[in-house]
Amino acid sequence: MPAHSSAAQVVAAQTEGPQGIELFLPAGYDLLWSSVTLLIIAVAFYKFILPQMNKVLDERSALIEGGIEKAEAAQKQADEALAQQQQLLAEARADAAQVREEARAEGTAIIKELKAKASEEAERITDTARRQIEADRQAASVSLRNEVGALATELASKIVGESLEDSARQSRVVDRFLDELEASQAVASNKEA
C-alpha cells in the first residue's frame, strides 16, 4: 500500500495546482509587481534616457544635414571652379590661336619683305655686274683697238715699206682694218646662226 499512497499524493498534487491554460498565465501578484516594475522603468526611460537619445539623434541629424550642406556647397564651388577653368582654358586656346595667326602673318610679311629685298639686291648686283662687264668690254675694246692698231701699223709698215708714223694716216689704217674685221665677224656669226 505504500505505493498506492504515493500515487495518490501525485494525483492530489496535480489537482491542486493550475491546469490547462492557467499553466501559461502567471499569478496575479506576479502580474502586479511586474507591471509596477515595468512602469517605473518606462517612466525612468521616458524622463531620462529618451531625451538624451533624442538629443544625440538631433545632434547627429544636424551634423549630417550640415555635412550635406557643406558637401553641396563644396560641390557647387567645385562646379563653379571647373566652369571657370574651362572658360579660362577656352580663352587661353583662343589667345594661343590668335598669337599663332599673328605670328604666321608676321612671318609671311617678313618673308615677303626679305624676298623683295633679296630681289632688289639681286637686281642691283646684276645691274652693277652688267655695267662693270660693259665697262670692261669697252676698256678691252679700246685697249684691243690700240694694240691691234699698233700691230697693224707696224705690220703695214713692214709690208708696204713705207713709214706710217703719221698719226692721222695710222688712225685711218687702223679704223679701216678694224671695220673689216668686225664685218667679217658679223658675216661669220650670221652663217653660224
Domains of the chain by residue range: 29-192
Mean pLDDT of the 118-123 span: 92
Give the cell for residue 153: 701699223
159: pLDDT strictly greater than 90: no
For residue 27, give the DSSP letter: P
Backbone dihedral angles phi then psi of residue 27, each to the nearest 5 degrees: -70, 160
Cα–Cα distance list, 75 to 72, 169, 186 (Å) = 5, 116, 99
Whole-number Å distance between alpha carbons of 187 and 183: 6
How many residues in total does the chain contain? Answer: 193
Do 179 and 152 contact (CB within 8 A), yes or no? Answer: no
pLDDT tens digits, 18-57:
677 877 888 888 889 999 999 999 999 999 999 999 999 9
DSSP per residue, 31-84: HHHHHHHHHHHHHHIIIIIHHHHHHHHHHHHHHHHHHHHHHHHHHHHHHHHHHH
Alpha carbons 123 and 173: distance in angstroms, whole number: 42
> Would you say 152 and 177 are in contact if contact means Cβ atoms under 8 Å apart?
yes
C-alpha cell, 175: 679704223
Query: Mean of the per-residue pLDDT values for the chain?
Result: 83
pLDDT tens column, 136-150? 888 887 787 777 777
Answer yes or no: are the C-beta atoms of 153 and 164 closer than 8 Å: yes
Which residue, chain included where needed, has cell 517612466? 43
**Dist CA 66 CA 59 (whole Å):** 10
- State percent of the chain over pLDDT 70: 82
